Structure 1
């Protein structure tokens, strides 16, 4: 039975330490229209679709994981067997932001609640799944293959990859991410919350009209913009790095032309809102 579309709220931009932090929902966008959100507990990943039309030619290579050998360069795990890269911190921040928007709760409170949550009795997490997880695996267009056997093999591999990702993304964060990642992710979310209202106004001016008409269907994309803007203005990360990371997140978890749009929006943000502030800082420091 299909559930009724929930009321759309986002987390309050006020500090998570405030008693009324979750008392009032803030806007996802100015003048947001109500649409059904994607009912997901974690951001989706577009999967390649195998085609068996004749004549059949492989138009692009299958995912690297199809070889069965995980790439250490992509694993990014430390000696404790947990993710340790900034990319993992941004992914975690995106998942928490997305869930907070769907739940209408404060993003930092939700993060803290997820971190401190107790494991269910009998829960077992296989850390080997982290080695098979690839932060740089992007969805793409359909793949044409030569035989039905190749199509079935590719489909089976995609299903295994999706199941592995679901296990990793739904596991308790402390089992998946080391302290550096958890700390960085929380810092990003604090910055997102503190700059939410200001960035909402900017985002409403720079995104395409189609995104304004369907903001709920674009929660993931809007969360990526908020995280990137917050990192630029609060962490001092080079703009090119932040933009590249945001585009990669869009390639991984969004679909269609989202990566291109996010790239354009963030470049506009840097040009019109960040560079001016950066240029004024040296003058202020000399004064």
Structure 2
């Protein structure tokens, strides 16, 4: 398990008391259905950090490699807390993931997490929020020419990963402003109220291999639940929701998950919401 996986696990450990377990029958029937099944460790979540490879043998001399682009600053308010809809969706995903591991109600878990007391002596560095990047996605391996370049990139990866873990495991009130906390809770209320209905739809639109291994797809399934709930209950334009869901999958899932989630949600919009997918949607802040 690498960086982002460690961050998600840190969050779920702080929020839950029992690990993930498989269920039989309906796909991810409800978070409570995980309580009575046998124990399995959660799936290692793909890191948002790219692998660094060193060319062997060393390539001929090349022009100096340009410095990596500066990390885009996260959207924060004057209090130094996240204030964007993307942060709310990310928080909702973390809560949903932890609720499935614990077998808890997502809204009650959110309220418990918000009201939890801080550990004695805990101090959160707000610089972590400023340095956090909601748009840091994975990709193919990065190839460099020398060990020195590889060590430099790997060192930066480790710093960014530690920063992500610190942010995602911190008490939410220290990281998110009231707008984000309110929006995240509204999304989770919609997730809980539409869960049973969306389970049936998810079983129809997801590929068979996801149905065969629901434990290994907790994050992906939570992303689908969140997106469907937001489209049906919050009225957010479907193109915005789909783009946000795909970006969440790029950050926290692996392999072809973003492509599958994109296809599943487009099928959901077309076949179950009767929406004209050809109409453009208004833009939304990505920060």
Bucket of the pairwise TM-score, normalised by the shorter protein: 0.7 to 0.9
In angstroms, what is the RMSD of aligned CA positions? 2.9
1: CA distance, partners of 2:246 / 2:259: 7
1:26-41 alignment, distance < 5 Å: 36-38=40-42
Q: Could you tell me how far 1:159 is from its partner in structure 2? A: 0.7
Secondary structure of residue in 2 paired with 1:193 = helix
Q: Deviations over 1:204-257 (max 9, x none)?
A: 010001111111000000000000000000000000000000000000110100
Q: Could you tell me how far 1:139 is from its partner in structure 2? A: 1.1
Structure 1's unaligned 5+ residue stretches are: 14-21, 28-32, 278-287
1:184-223 alignment, distance < 5 Å: 184-223=183-222
Figure out how many residues of one structure are paired with residues of the other and give that number.
251
Structure 2's unaligned 5+ residue stretches are: 1-17, 60-64, 277-287
Q: TM-score, normalised by structure 1?
A: 0.80
Q: Could you tell me how far 1:5 is from its partner in structure 2? A: 7.2
Q: Could you tell me how far 1:141 is from its partner in structure 2? A: 1.6
1: CA distance, partners of 2:157 / 2:229: 33
Q: Which residue of 1 aligns with 2:49?
A: 47
Conserved 8 A contact 2:99-2:105:
yes
Q: 1:265 to 1:169 in 2, by over 3 A?
A: same
1: CA distance, partners of 2:134 / 2:120: 29
1: CA distance, partners of 2:41 / 2:48: 16
Q: Could you tell me how far 1:63 is from its partner in structure 2? A: 12
Q: Could you tell me how far 1:132 is from its partner in structure 2? A: 0.7
1:107-122 alignment, distance < 5 Å: 107-122=106-121
1:89-238 alignment, distance < 5 Å: 89-238=88-237
Q: 1:35 to 1:247 in 2, by over 3 A?
A: farther
Q: Which residue of 2 aligns with 1:7?
A: 21
Secondary structure of residue in 1 paired with 2:273 = helix
Q: Could you tell me how far 1:46 is from its partner in structure 2? A: 3.4
Indicate which of 33, 36, 40 corresponds to 1:25: 33
Q: Deviations over 1:174-207 (max 9, x none)?
A: 0000000000000000000000000000000100
Q: Which residue of 1 aligns with 2:252?
A: 253
Q: Deviations over 1:102-141 (max 9, x none)?
A: 1101110000000000111100000011111000010112
2: CA distance, partners of 1:44 / 1:117: 28
Q: Which residue of 2 aligns with 1:281?
A: none
Q: Could you tell me how far 1:49 is from its partner in structure 2? A: 1.1
